Structure 1
Amino acid sequence: MAVSAFVIAAALALLLSWSLARLVETRSAAAVTTRLLAEGYTWAIVKADGLTVTLSGTAPNEAMRFSAMNLAGSVIESGRMRDEFQVEPAQVIAPPRFSLEILRNDDDVQLIGLLPSGDAKDRLAAAAAALARDNTQMDMLQTAAYPSPAGFDAALDLGLVALNLLPQSKISVSETGVVITAIAKSEAEKRSFEADIARATPKEVMVQTTISAPRPVLTPFTLRFVIDEQGPRFDACSADSDKARDRIMTAARAAGVTAAPRCVVGLGVPSPSWAQATSSAMATLAKLGAGTVTFSDADITLLAGPDVTQASFDREIGELRATLPDVFSLDAKMPEKAQTTTTAAGPVEFTATLAAETHSLDLRGRLTDNRVQAAVASFARARFGADKVRVATVLDPAAPDGWPQRVLAGLQSLAQLDHGTLLVRPDTVEVAGVSGSLQASAKISQTLSERLGQGKTFKVNVSYDKALDPLAALPTPQECVDHIHEALGNRKIAFDPGSAEIDSASASLMDAIAKGLKNCNAVKIEIAGHTDAQGSAGGNLALSQARAEAVMVALQGRQVDVSAMRAVGYGEGVPVADNGDESGREANRRIDFTLIDAPTVAAAIMDADGILPGAPSAGDMTSGAAQDPSLAPTTKTERPKTRPKG
C-alpha cells in the first residue's frame, strides 16, 4: 500500500508540474505575442518551451529586430528569450536619376534639378549669373555624392551652350540626351539657332530641338504659279494656316507639281477664302495647259500661255470668275504678240548685270531724263555699293509711262540675288540669276507684283545655290580641323629654342590656319603641345602647355573665335618618333589640332592610376603648368629656363 501511495503521489506531482509548465508556456507566449501584435510586429513568431521563449521570423531591418527583442524583454525576463530572428538583406540603393531643367526668359534664369557632385552646379550658377540682371536667377539645384552617369557631362555641356545661345528657351538635360524648346524672333534667327546647336552637339549626345518663330507678316500676300515648258512650279507661295497650305499643296499636285515646294505660312491674308481662291486659279491654269497666275493680296493676274485657244480661255476664265469669292479681282489676258517699242536709237529697254565674283553692277539702256538717271544711280549705289556701280545709260524722253517705277522695281528685285540679270521692257520685267536664299524667288515675286501693280507681266527665273547660303555653307567641326591640317601640310609651327615664342617664320603659317578657321565659330578644338624627351619632365610639360597657349593667343589675335578651344600641354608623354636621334626629337616637338569630341590624347595615355606617364607630381609643377589649360593666359605665362637646342 505504501508503495502504491508513493507511486500515485509521484504521478500526481509530475502531472502537476507538467500542467504548471504548460501554463507558464502558454501565458508567456500569449503575453509576448499580444505585446508584439499590439505594436504592429506581425512578422514575429513566438514559441514557448518551458520557461524558454523562442522569437523567430524575418525582420524588415536590424532596427525592427532589436525593437522586437526589447518589447519581448518588457514582458518576460530577457534570460528566458532565445533570439532566432532573421533580417531581410539590405537592398542596394539605386543611384538617383540626375536631370536638369533650365528655364530662360531673357535675363530671368531658373535652374531646377539634381546634379552629381563636382563643379557642375558652380558652372551652371556662374553661367546663369552672367545672364541674369540684378541677381534675378533662381537656383533650385541639389547635388548627390554619386558619379556622373555616362553621357551626362557631354549633355550638360550642350545645355550650357544652349543656355547662352537661346534667350527664350526651356532646356532639359539628362543622361539620355538634351531636349530644347525655344522661340526665335524670325525664321532667319531660327535657322541660325538650329545651325549653331547642330554644330555644338557632340556625336554621342541625342538632341531634340524644337524652335518656333512667329509667323512673318507678308506684304503683299503673294502666290505665283507658273506652267511653261519647264513644267508646273511656284515662283512664290503664301498661306495663312497649315490647313490652307495643305489645300494649296493638294491643288499643286493635282496640277502636276511633283517636287515638294516651299509655302510660307504668314500673317496678312486678304481673305479667309485665300486657299479656295488660289486652288481654283491653279486648277484653271492646269486646264488651260500653260500660263501664269499671280495673286498680290486680293488682285489676281492670269496670263494664258501662247498656245491657249480663245474658246478654251473664255470657258475656263468664265468658270473661274464664277467660283472666286467677291473680294478677289481677276485680270485675265490672252498672250499678245510680242511688240518691241523702238526709237531711232533702237528698242526701248533697260538692262542691269550683276557680276558673280566682283558683284559689280552695270546699268545700260533707256532712262527718261537726268533726274530719273540720278535717282536710279543713287538707288543702285545704295543697294550694291557706291564703288560697284557703273552707269552707262542714255536719255530718252519718249520712254513709256511708268518707266522709272519699272526700273526701280527691277533693281530692288535684283538686289535679292548674288548675281544675275535684269531686263525691263514696256511689256515685261524679267529677273534671272542665282541666290543663296530659298526665299529669293518668292521675295522677288512679292516685290514685282506690289511695285508693278495688277495686270502687269513679269518673269522670274532664280536658282538656289547652297554654296551661297551663309548658314548652309558653314563648315562642320571636322571640316574646320581638316582646313587646319590642309594649311599645315608638311609644315609645322616653329618656336624659338626652349621658348614659347612663335618663330617669325611661322607667321604666314598662322595666317593660313586662321584663314581656314574664318567661319568656324565656337568649334571645340584641342590645341595640344608636345616636346621631345630632353630636359626634365616637369619642364617639358610646362613648355608644351605654354606653347599650346601661345598658339591659341596667336589665333585669337587673328580674329579667330577661340571661345570653345582649349590649350593642353602633354610634354614628352606622347611621342610619335624615337627620341634617340635628332630627326625623332624634331618630329616630337609639335602642335596638334584635334576635335575635343573625338577620343582625346590624354585618355589614350593615362595609366592605371589616371596619371600621365612622365608627369611630375603637384609639388614639382611650375606655376605656368598649373594654369587652367582650357583658358588663354590673361597674363604673361611663366616660361621655363632656356635649354640648349635639340
Structure 2
Amino acid sequence: MRLSSIVITAVTFALAAGLSLITAGFAGNVIEDNSEYSVRQALDDNAMHWAEVHADGLQVFLTGTAPSEAVRFKALSVTGGIVDAARVIDQMTVQDSALIEPPRFSVEILRNDSGVSLIGLVPAATDRQALVRQITALANEGQVSDLLQTADYPVPEGWDEALGFALKALKTLPRSKISASAGEVVITAMSDSPTEKRRMETELSRAVPSDTRMMLDISAPRPVITPFTLRFLIDEAGARFDACSADDDEARRRILAAAVSAGLSDKASCTIGLGVPSPKWGTAVERAIVALKELGAGSVTFADADITLVAAEGTDQALFDRVVGELENNLPTVFALHPVLPKPERTSEQGTPEFVATLSPEGLVQLRGRLNDELTRSASESFAHARFGTKSVHTAARLDDTLPKSWPLRVLTGIDALSRLSNGALNVTPDLITVSGNTGNPDASAEIARLMVDKLGDAERFELNVTYLEKLDPIASIPTPDECEAQIAEILSTRKINFEPGSDTPDSEARVVIDDIADILKLCGEVRMEISGHTDSQGREEMNQQLSQARAQAVLNALRERRVPTNALNATGYGEADPVAGNDTEEGREANRRIEFRLIRPKVTRETETTLESAEQTSEEGADIAAEEVINPADAASEEGSNDE
C-alpha cells in the first residue's frame, strides 16, 4: 500500500515535468517566431532587405553583408529597439569599401575679420595639414577652426584644381564663403566698393581653371552719392544719361522706363546709392523726364532737391512756360525747379571768349585761350601740374580782364574734369562748359557730372561727350589666359628664343624676345603655363632631353629676373620627342629647336556626384534627387535691367 502511494506520487511529478517541458518548448517556439518576425519587419521597414534574421531561443542572430559600417550599426540599433540588445548576436559583414560608391567631397571655407572656418569632407590623400597651414597664413592673427572630416576614397578628377583655385580666391576675398567640390567652386563675398567688386570679378574669372565651373556672387555696399545727382539730355544725338542715381530698385525701374519713353535706346545703368534727398526721388525724376520729352530737346539736372531744366535754344516760349508750369505744380514737395530758356548768343567784336585744354593719349596737356589775370593763369597752371605732372603741361593762355568773375572756378573745375579722362578736350565759354574724350572708367561720365554740379551748382550749363573704351580700362583690358597664350605664340611665330650653340644660354637677340614676353606675362597675372623646351634629333636622346630641360629652365629664370610672377609657370624639357618638322633637313631641325608657351589645361571629365548619406543607403532605396537651378545674380540683374527698359 505504501509502495503504491510512492509510485503514484512519482508518476504525478513525472507527468507534471513532461507537461512543463512541452509547455516551455511551445512557449520558446512562440518567442522565437515572434522575435524573428518583429525584427524582420522592422528591418524591412528601414529598407534593410540585405539583412537575414534567425532566432534560436532567446537569441537573435543577424547575418548578411551591410553596404557600409554605418548601415551595419543602424541595423543593430533597429534590432535593439525590438528585442533586448543583449539577445542580439551580430554576425554581419561589411561590403568592401572599394565597391561602395564614393561620397561627394566638398569643403566650405568661411572667412571674416575674426578668422577662418573649414567645414566638409576631404579625401584622405589631401594634405590636410598643408591646407590648414596655408589658410592659417592667410588668416594673419585670426583663429582657424578646422572641422574637416576625411574619407579614404580615391581623389575625384577636378578636386585638386578646384581646391587650389578656392585657396587662390581666398587670398583676395577677406569676407567670403567659398565652397569647393570636384570641378566646381561657389563663391559668395563682399567688397568695399563697386570698383573693387568689378576688379575681383575680373581677376577671378580669368584665374578659374578651364575645367572648373565657378558661380560667383560678390556684393558691394551702396555708395554714398553726394550730391545725389542725375542728368538726362535730349539732343541731336538722341536721349542719354550723363549721370543716373536712384534710391532703390523701384525708383530705378521708373526712371529707366521714363527715359526709354523719352527716346533712350542704348542700355543705361543707374546707380542705387545712399543720400537721396526725398523718398519721392523716383517720382520727381520721372515727371521731369516727361517734361523734357514734351519740350523735345534740352537737359534736366538734379542736384539733391534742386532741379535745373534747360530747354534747347529756339524753344517756343509758350510751350516752355506751359511745360514748366505743369512741372512745378506736379513736383513733390522739397524739390525746387530752376527753368532756363537760353537766349541767342551775341558775339562781340572780339569774338566769343573761350578757354581750351587738350589732353593727348600720351598724357601731354596744352592750356590756351583766355584767363582773367596772372593769378588765374598761375593757379590754372599749378592745378594742371598737380593733376597731370609738371613736365606734361604747356601753357599758352593770354589774359583778358573782361571775363566773368566765375571764369576761374569754371576753368579749374573743367581741368579737374579733364583729368578723369585718358584723353580729351575741355572748352569753356561764358554760357557752356564742354568736356569730351575717351576713358577706361565706365563711371567717368557720372563722376564728372557730379563734380560739375557740386562745384558750379545745378544751374550751370555743361555738355559731356565721354566715351568708354574697354581697351583703356585697366581691369577689363587684362588679357584672358587664351589671349596671353595667343599673344606669346604670335611673338614666337616670327622671332625665336635661340641659345648659344650647345648651351642653355640665350643669345643676345633672344633677350629682346624674352623682354617682350615678360611684358605680356606681367599684364596677364598668374596664368598657369608650361614653358616647354624642344631639340632636334641630333645627338643622344638623353642629352637632348637634358638640354631641352635646361633651356626651358633658363627661360623661366630669365622671366624671374624680369620680375615676372612665376609661381604658375613650369619648365619642362621634351628633348626630341615632339618634332614639328622632319629632322632630315637643316630647316626642319631649326624648326624643331624651339621654346613654346602653352596653357596648362586640366582634363575635362564627368563623374557622378553622390553624398555621404547616399553612400550609406542601399541600392534598393533609390531616392530621386532634384537639382535646383542656380541663377547667377549678375544674370538676374541684367534680366531685370532689360525688363526695366
TM value normalised by structure 1: 0.79
102 and 588 in structure 1: CA distance in 2 versus 1, 3 angstrom threshold? same
Q: Measure, in 2, the Cα distance between the counterparts of 1:593 and 1:549.
A: 12
143 and 501 in structure 1: CA distance in 2 versus 1, 3 angstrom threshold? farther
Please state if 1:478 is matched with 2:485.
no
Q: Measure, in 2, the Cα distance between the counterparts of 1:135 and 1:533.
A: 56
89 and 383 in structure 1: CA distance in 2 versus 1, 3 angstrom threshold? closer
Give the aligned partner of residue 529 of structure 2: 525
Give the aligned partner of residue 31 of structure 2: 34
Post-superposition offset of 1:238: 0.8
After the TM superposition, which residues 353-502 of structure 1 pair with which residues of structure 2 at under 5 Å, given as runs? 353-355=358-360, 357-502=361-506
The structure 1 residue matched to 2:211, chosen from 204, 207, 224, is 204
Percent of aligned pairs sharing the same letter: 46
Could you list the runs of 5+ residues in structure 2 that have no partner in the other structure? 1-16, 41-51, 67-71, 606-645
Give the aligned partner of residue 349 of structure 1: 354
Which SS does the other structure have where 1:247 is aligned?
A: helix
Larger mean CA deviation between 570-579 and 506-515 belongs to: 570-579
Q: Measure, in 2, the Cα distance between the counterparts of 1:88 and 1:513.
A: 58
Please state if 1:233 is matched with 2:237.
no
583 and 456 in structure 1: CA distance in 2 versus 1, 3 angstrom threshold? closer
Give the aligned partner of residue 116 of structure 2: 109
Deviations 1:2-22 (A, max 9, x none): xxxxxxxxxxxxxxxxxx999
Read off the aligned partner of 1:348 and give its amino acid letter: P
Please state if 1:293 is matched with 2:300.
yes
306 and 402 in structure 1: CA distance in 2 versus 1, 3 angstrom threshold? closer
Please state if 1:262 is matched with 2:269.
yes
After the TM superposition, which residues 569-584 of structure 1 pair with which residues of structure 2 at under 5 Å, given as runs? 569-577=573-581
Q: Measure, in 2, the Cα distance between the counterparts of 1:542 and 1:144.
A: 41
Larger mean CA deviation between 395-404 and 514-523 belongs to: 514-523
Read off the aligned partner of 1:31 and give its amino acid letter: G
Q: Measure, in 2, the Cα distance between the counterparts of 1:29 and 1:584.
A: 97
Give the aligned partner of residue 618 of structure 1: none
372 and 390 in structure 1: CA distance in 2 versus 1, 3 angstrom threshold? same
Post-superposition offset of 1:377: 0.1
TM value normalised by structure 2: 0.79
Read off the aligned partner of 1:257 and give its amino acid letter: L
Aligned Cα root-mean-square deviation (Å)? 3.5
Post-superposition offset of 1:504: 3.4
Post-superposition offset of 1:563: 2.6
Give the aligned partner of residue 310 of structure 2: 303
331 and 575 in structure 1: CA distance in 2 versus 1, 3 angstrom threshold? same
Read off the aligned partner of 1:472 and give its amino acid letter: A
Post-superposition offset of 1:597: 1.6
Post-superposition offset of 1:373: 0.7
Post-superposition offset of 1:380: 0.6
Are the aligned partners of 1:428 and 1:457 in contact in 2 as well (CA < 8 Å)?
yes
130 and 351 in structure 1: CA distance in 2 versus 1, 3 angstrom threshold? same
Q: Measure, in 2, the Cα distance between the counterparts of 1:347 and 1:256.
A: 33
Post-superposition offset of 1:136: 2.6
Q: Measure, in 1, the Cα distance between the counterparts of 2:576 and 2:25.
A: 80
Which SS does the other structure have where 1:489 is aligned?
A: helix
Larger mean CA deviation between 511-520 and 271-280 belongs to: 511-520
Larger mean CA deviation between 370-379 and 459-468 belongs to: 459-468
Q: Measure, in 1, the Cα distance between the counterparts of 2:476 and 2:151.
A: 42
Post-superposition offset of 1:325: 2.4
Are the aligned partners of 1:342 and 1:348 in contact in 2 as well (CA < 8 Å)?
no
Q: Measure, in 2, the Cα distance between the counterparts of 1:112 and 1:473.
A: 37
Give the aligned partner of residue 283 of structure 1: 290
Count of matched residue positions in the alignment of Structure 1 and Structure 2: 559
Post-superposition offset of 1:577: 4.8
Read off the aligned partner of 2:274 and give its amino acid letter: L
Read off the aligned partner of 1:113 and give its amino acid letter: G
Deviations 1:69-115 (A, max 9, x none): xx9xx99xxxxxxxxx9999889533111001011225722222111
145 and 405 in structure 1: CA distance in 2 versus 1, 3 angstrom threshold? same
Please state if 1:150 is matched with 2:157.
yes
Which SS does the other structure have where 2:549 is aligned?
A: helix
Please state if 1:515 is matched with 2:497.
no
Which SS does the other structure have where 1:347 is aligned?
A: coil
Post-superposition offset of 1:162: 0.7
The structure 2 residue matched to 1:566, chosen from 566, 570, 579, is 570
Which SS does the other structure have where 1:470 is aligned?
A: coil
Read off the aligned partner of 2:161 and give its amino acid letter: A
473 and 289 in structure 1: CA distance in 2 versus 1, 3 angstrom threshold? same
Post-superposition offset of 1:442: 1.2
Larger mean CA deviation between 25-34 and 257-266 belongs to: 25-34
Are the aligned partners of 2:423 and 2:437 in contact in 1 as well (CA < 8 Å)?
yes
Read off the aligned partner of 2:199 and give its amino acid letter: S
Post-superposition offset of 1:194: 0.5
Which SS does the other structure have where 2:524 is aligned?
A: coil
The structure 1 residue matched to 2:510, chosen from 499, 506, 514, is 506
Are the aligned partners of 2:530 and 2:569 in contact in 1 as well (CA < 8 Å)?
yes
After the TM superposition, which residues 241-252 of structure 1 pair with which residues of structure 2 at under 5 Å, given as runs? 241-252=248-259
Read off the aligned partner of 2:31 and give its amino acid letter: T
Read off the aligned partner of 1:324 and give its amino acid letter: L
Which SS does the other structure have where 2:143 is aligned?
A: coil
Post-superposition offset of 1:470: 1.5
Larger mean CA deviation between 277-286 and 508-517 belongs to: 508-517
If asked which structure has higher relative contact order (CA below 8 Å, sep 6+), I would say 2
Which SS does the other structure have where 1:398 is aligned?
A: coil
Post-superposition offset of 1:30: 5.3
Q: Measure, in 2, the Cα distance between the counterparts of 1:25 and 1:570.
A: 88
The structure 2 residue matched to 1:555, chosen from 553, 559, 563, is 559
208 and 555 in structure 1: CA distance in 2 versus 1, 3 angstrom threshold? same
Post-superposition offset of 1:159: 0.9
Q: Measure, in 2, the Cα distance between the counterparts of 1:299 and 1:86.
A: 83
Read off the aligned partner of 1:133 and give its amino acid letter: N
57 and 553 in structure 1: CA distance in 2 versus 1, 3 angstrom threshold? same
The structure 2 residue matched to 1:333, chosen from 340, 350, 355, is 340
Give the aligned partner of residue 594 of structure 2: 590
Post-superposition offset of 1:587: 4.3
Which SS does the other structure have where 1:188 is aligned?
A: helix
Read off the aligned partner of 1:593 and give its amino acid letter: F
